[in-house]
Chains A and B, each alone.
Chain A
C-alpha cells in the first residue's frame, strides 16, 4: 500500500509535538509500536485493509523531535500524552493494538480510561514481572544475541527483511543510532525492571482483549500470557506455536486473520 501520511498533533501535556502515521481506510484503530521504534510493516498493512490505522511515534522516535523524550518525565506523563492525543484525534471508543512495549502502553491506556478502548489486542506485551520467569534485560543483551532473543522463526520474510542491514555505511550508522535511541527512549519507562504498577491497574480494563504470544518468546516468556489474561476481565489467549517475541512477523499468515477476525467479531 501507499506509505502512510504523517499527521502532526500538538499535545499540551509536556508540550509534545506528536507525530502519527495514518494509513488505510475504514473505522479507526490505534497501533502502538515496540521498543525498537516505529515502523510501518506488513502487519499494519493487513490492519489497514479494514481500518484507518493511527500509529503514533513514541516521544523521541520516528518523526518526533529526538530530545522531546526529556520533557516526558514519568509513565504518568506518557499516559496523559496519549490521553490528550487520542482526544485530539477524536477517538472516543476505539480498538487498540500494541506490540511488546506498545502492548504495555495499550494496557495503561485501557486501564486509565476504560471507556475509550473498545477492544484490545496485545502481542507479547511487557509490563508484568515474575521472579521465576524474569523478562530478559533486552537493553543489555549483546548485539549479536538480539536476533535469537527476538525471533524463533528466522526464515519468515519480515524477519529476514528486518535483519538485512543497509550496505551504505552512513545509512547503516543512522539505522543503528536510531534503534539504540529508540530503546533508550522507551526504556525510560521500563528500566530496570518492567514492573511499574500495571498489575495494580489492570482490573480497571473493560475492553474485550485478545492476547497473542509466541510460544518460543525468549524475551518475555509465554507464561506471561496467562498473567495478563488473569488480570483482564474479558481476555482470550492465543499461543502461536512457531513464533518468538514478534509473532506478527514470524507468523503473519496466522496472526493477521486472528486479529482481523477478533476486531470484526
Chain B
C-alpha cells in the first residue's frame, strides 16, 4: 500500500467559541479577527517541516491541497508547497511522490496554468508528481472563486481534457472549448512522466465522479473525515459500480483519507490527541451543507439519488458533529487514535475492508502543535508505516498510477 502524509495546513489556534461565533470556518471566518500574518508564516513553516519529516521517515508520498477563504486549511495554491517539497526532497536525496490532491482546474482560468505548474513540479522532482484533479468544493470554487455551480462539472471535464492534450500533443493546437478558448497551445514546460503524470481524482462519494474514473481508468480517492466504518457503504457501492463498468478490483484504483494519532499506549494517545480531534471536527469542519454543494453543483441524477434513496443517512454531512466528544468520535472511528498496535490493526483493517491501495494519512490535524505533530509523524513512520506498506504486495496487483521515480 502507498501511504502518503497529507497536510491541510490549518489554523491551529482558533478561539474557544469559534464555532458558535461564526456561521462557518469557510467564507464567514474573518481573517482580520482571527489571524496574524506573522503567526501564519509559522504555520506554513511548521507544515512544510512536518511534511519533510514524513519524507525522511519513508512515507511514499507527500500530499497537499487547495482551499480558499477558510480557517480549515489555507494552502490557496498547493503547487506553491509542492514546489518547495520537490526542491527540498531533491536536495536531500529523498524521493517521495509529490501528491497534489490538488489544484482545482475548474476554478483556475485558463486551466493550462495548472498544466504548467504541474509540469514544473514533475520536472523539478525528477518525475515524482501525482496530478490530483479535485472538482473543488462549492465553497471554494463557486463561492470563493465565483464559478457557476451548474457549470462546474462540465468545466472540470473540459479543463482536464485540455490539460491532458496540452501535456501530450507534439504539435500546436487551438482549443475551442465551451468554457476555455486558446488560439495556440504549446505548453512550456511539459512533464517528465510519459505520457503524463498519473491522474488521481479525489471526491466525496459522487457516483458521477466514479463513472468518470471508470471510463478513463483513473484512480479515485474518497476524502472522508468519518473513518473506515462510515466509508464501508460508500466504498462497497464504489466497487460494485466498478464491476458494472468492467473494471477489476485492483485496490490501487481507490484511496482513502484518515486522521491518525499514535502514542505508546491507548491512554497516552487519547490524552495527547483528543483535544485536537475535537478542535478538528468542531471548528475546522464547521461547514454548512449549502456551502459544500450549492444548487447546481450536484447533477440531477445524483440529487434524486441523494434525497430519495435513503442514501442521505450514509452521507457524511448528515452527521451532527457538535454534540460528539473526542471519545465518541474516536470510538466511531472518525479518527484512528491509539497505541502502535491499535493504530496498525485499525488501519490495516480499514485498508483491507475498503480494498484501498492508497492511504492518505493526516498526522497533523486541527490545533495539534508542531512538536506533537513531529512526534506523531516520527512514531508513525518508525512503528506503523513499515507494517502498512507491505499490504497488497502478495496479491500481485500492479499500481500503474504511481510515479516510477518515486521511492519511499
Contact = CB atoms under 8 A, between A and B. Distances in A.
A184 B150 contact: yes
Given A180-B295, A187-B296, A192 B143 contact: yes
Contacts of A96: none
B142 interface: yes
A140 B291 contact: yes
Given A140-B143, A143-B290, A176-B307, A191 B300 contact: no
Interface in B262-318: 288, 290-291, 294-298, 300, 303-304, 306-309
A66 interface: yes
A107 B295 CA distance: 24
Contact of B154 (A70, A140, A182): A70
B308 A192 contact: no
B127 interface: no
B395 interface: no
B403 interface: no
A184 B307 CA distance: 16
Given A66-B300, A183-B296, A184-B295, A191 B142 contact: yes
Contacts of A70: 150, 154
A47 interface: no
Contact of B307 (A173, A183, A187, A192): A173
Nearest to A69: B150
Nearest to B300: A66
Interface in B348-364: none
Given A180-B295, A188-B151, A142 B290 contact: yes
Contacts, number: 74
Interface string B144-165: 0010111100100000000000
A7 to B, nearest CB: 23
A264 interface: no
A185 interface: yes
B184 interface: no
A5 interface: no
A100 to B, nearest CB: 15
27 contacts: A60-B300, A69-B150, A70-B150, A139-B149, A139-B295, A140-B290, A141-B290, A143-B290, A173-B304, A173-B307, A173-B309, A174-B308, A176-B307, A177-B303, A177-B304, A180-B295, A180-B298, A183-B296, A184-B150, A184-B296, A185-B150, A187-B150, A187-B295, A188-B150, A191-B296, A192-B143, A192-B148
